[in-house]
C-alpha cells in the first residue's frame, strides 16, 4: 500500500545518488548473469544494470511502480513477475539476486524475512551471490521515547518531515513522510521491520548460505562501528 500511484509518480524526482556505485558493485558480481532484483520498483538500479549488458529480471507487488518502469527507456525489455518477493516467484536460477534500499525490511516479520533467504537460496546458482543493502539500525536504540521528527527539507513553498515511532519488541518502525505546502498536506506512510546485520547472517545460515563480504557502502568502504548502512554479500 505504500507504493501506490502517488508515490510512484514522485519516486524518481529525487534520486538517492548511489545508483552508479551500486550498479558497478552489482555488475562485478553478476558476471554474465542473469540477475534478479527483488522489489525492482521503477528500475532505478535494474535499468542501468541492464544497460551494461546484464540480463535483469524483477519481482514487485506494485502495478504503479512497475508502470513507471515500463515507461522508461529500456523498461519494456525487463521481465517483471508481479508477486511477493519473499516467495521469489520465478523459475530458474540466478548468478545474482539483490534487494537494495532497505527493502528487505518491507517484509514485516522475521518469518517472512527468513522465507525470503530460503527462497533466494533455492534460486541461486552454485557460485551465485545474494546482495542485501540496508541500514544499520543503531540510531533507533538512541531515540527519546522511541520516536522522532526529522526536518528533511525546509523551503519557502514546502516543508518535508519524516515522522516515526519505533517498537523495539517487534523491531518495527512506523513512519510517514509528511509534506506541508500551500496545496495541502501529503502523507507517505510506510512500516518496516528492521534487522541487525547479525540477525541477517543467521537467516542466511538457516537458508544454507553464509556471509562472504560485508561493506559499509557501495564503494567498498570498510564496515565499522559507525557505518550507517551495510552491503552484505551472501553465497553458498
Q: How many CA atoms lie within 13 A of 94 on its CB side?
A: 28
Total residues binding ligand SAM (CB under 6 A) = 19
Cis omega (within 30 of 0) on the bond before 42?
A: no
**Per-residue binding letters, 95-134, with ligand SAM (x by CB under 6 A):** -----xx-x--xx---------------------------
Task: Give the separation between CA 208 and CA 193, rounded to whole angstroms.
Answer: 23
In this complex, which beta carbon is closest to ligand SAM, that of residue 60 or of residue 175? Answer: 60
Instruction: Specify the 3-state DSSP secondary structure of 167.
Output: strand
Q: Contact at 8 Å (CB) between 128 and 145? A: no
Give me the least distance between CB of 145 and ligand SAM, in Å please: 27
Q: How far is CA 24 from the centre of its chain?
A: 17
Give me the least distance between CB of 11 and ligand SAM, in Å please: 7
In this complex, which beta carbon is closest to ligand SAM, that of residue 39 or of residue 56? Answer: 39
The only residue of 27, 84, 118, 213 in contact with ligand SAM, by rule CB under 6 A: 84
Within positions 10 to 69, which residues make up the interface with ligand SAM, using CB under 6 A? 39-41, 44-45, 59-62, 65
Residue ranges binding ligand SAM (CB under 6 A): 3, 39-41, 44-45, 59-62, 65, 84-86, 100-101, 103, 106-107
Amino acid at each position: 500500500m505504500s507504493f501506490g500511484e502517488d508515490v510512484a509518480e514522485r519516486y524518481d524526482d529525487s534520486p538517492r545518488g548511489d545508483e552508479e556505485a551500486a550498479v558497478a558493485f552489482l555488475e562485478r558480481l553478476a558476471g554474465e548473469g542473469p540477475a534478479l532484483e527483488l522489489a525492482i520498483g521503477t528500475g532505478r538500479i535494474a535499468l542501468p544494470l541492464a544497460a551494461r549488458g546484464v540480463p535483469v529480471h524483477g519481482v514487485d507487488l506494485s502495478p504503479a511502480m512497475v508502470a513507471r518502469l515500463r515507461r522508461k527507456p529500456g523498461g519494456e525489455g525487463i521481465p517483471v513477475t508481479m508477486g511477493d518477493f519473499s516467495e521469489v516467484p520465478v523459475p530458474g536460477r540466478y548468478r545474482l539476486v539483490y534487494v537494495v534500499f532497505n527493502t528487505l525490511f518491507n517484509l514485516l516479520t522475521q518469518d517472512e524475512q527468513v522465507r525470503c533467504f530460503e527462497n533466494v537460496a533455492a534460486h541461486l546458482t552454485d557460485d551465485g551471490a545474494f546482495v542485501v543493502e540496508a541500514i544499520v539500525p543503531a540510531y533507533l536504540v538512541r531515540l527519546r521515547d522511541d520516536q522522532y521528527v526529522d526536518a528533511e527539507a525546509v523551503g519557502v513553498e514546502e516543508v518535508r518531515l519524516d515522522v516515526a515511532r519505533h517498537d523495539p519488541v517487534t523491531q518495527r518502525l512506523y513512519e510517514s513522510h509528511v509534506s506541508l505546502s500551500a496545496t495541502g498536506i501529503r502523507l507517505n506512510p510506510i512500516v518496516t521491520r528492521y534487522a541487525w546485520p547479525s540477525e541477517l547472517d543467521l537467516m542466511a545460515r538457516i537458508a544454507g548460505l553464509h556471509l562472504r563480504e560485508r561493506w559499509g557502502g557501495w564503494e567498498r568502504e570498510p564496515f565499522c562501528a559507525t557505518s550507517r548502512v551495510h552491503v552484505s554479500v551472501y553465497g553458498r
